[in-house]
Amino acid sequence: MGREYFIAGNWKMFKTSTESREFVQALAGQFTAAPGLTVAVFPPFTALEAVRGLDPKVHIGAQNLFYEENGAFTGEISPPMLRGLAEYVLVGHSERRQIFHESDEDVNRKLLAALRFGLKPVLCVGETLPEREAGRTLDKVHGQLEKGLAGVGDADWAHLTVAYEPIWAIGTGRNATPEQADEVHRHIRGLLESKVPGRRIPVLYGGSVKPENSLELLAQKSISGVLVGGASLNVESFSAIIQNGSKLLSA
């Protein structure tokens, strides 16, 4: 099977709807579609309508969702509300887990709700620095995957993406080395292979991905793409990362 890359930008709590629209228009002018290349941005909820359908090369995702369909849940956004606005949705980002106290069970309910309503979840997992230093990285990631993926149906695996984001590498400028990322990615691939043999589920790396380190990270066999935070907020730096993916695809 040929290589495929998924290059995703998580904008977090940045960009108004006008800024998001201008960004997507500018970004679309910076790269050409290529077989095996998927580019997506994850703007805030408030910008989803503004970027809808702007350019088929730029796929759209949401950063979060709630697992109920509707009800008295002030401030929450349900899966049916996202349908038609977003193709993908992040679940279990470390900022949601740490700042908003989402448990593995919450993450699992969100993931299943997303699938139920035709959204493609990107399940984020990753360890803290103390966990890495204590040699608990693989255990932590393994547990998050087992709990996060509980109950996924046979037909749903095709719509799933996993993102490994070591928390100590997020927003710190300190990325995992390609070898560190590769070790965890191989573990994740092994676990996924045991669940759904023969199906290649994309596993992205995230954490201080920049134009300068993206080529080497993407060149790792076990890495199927990147989930970019800070460097995805700027058209030049995000498109430079996309170009690196294209370069590797045509190599």
- Residues annotated as catalytic are 93, 165
What distance in Å separates the CA atoms of residue 245 and residue 227, rounded to the nearest whole number? 13
Among 65, 119, 170, 192, binds ligand 13P (CB under 6 A): 170
- Report in angstroms how near the CB of residue 71 gets to ligand 13P at its nearest: 28
The stretch among 14-22, 65-73, 151-159, 229-237 that binds ligand 13P (CB under 6 A) is: 229-237
Distances in whole angstroms, Cα of residue 74 to Cα of each of 66, 196, 205: 11, 37, 33
Among 102, 106, 127, 165, binds ligand 13P (CB under 6 A): 165
Q: Which amino acid is at 167?
A: I
Which has the closest alpha carbon to 163: 39, 1, 8? 8
Closest CB 173 distance from ligand 13P, rounded Å:
8
Which residue in the set 115, 141, 218, 228 belongs to the binding site for ligand 13P (CB under 6 A)? 228
Nearer to ligand 13P, 116 or 210 (CB): 210
Closest by CA to 166, choosing from 195, 136, 146, is 136
By CB under 6 A, is residue 209 in contact with ligand 13P? yes
Specify whether the CB–CB gap between 242 and 30 falls below 8 A. Answer: yes
**Contact between 229 and ligand 13P per CB under 6 A:** yes
Q: How many Å apart are CA 251 and CA 248, to the nearest integer? A: 5
How far is residue 205's CA from residue 50's CA, in Å, rounded to a whole number?
Answer: 28
Interacting residue with ligand 13P among 79, 166, 207, 245 (CB under 6 A): 207
Residue ranges that bind ligand 13P, judged by CB under 6 A = 10, 93, 165, 170-171, 206-209, 227-231
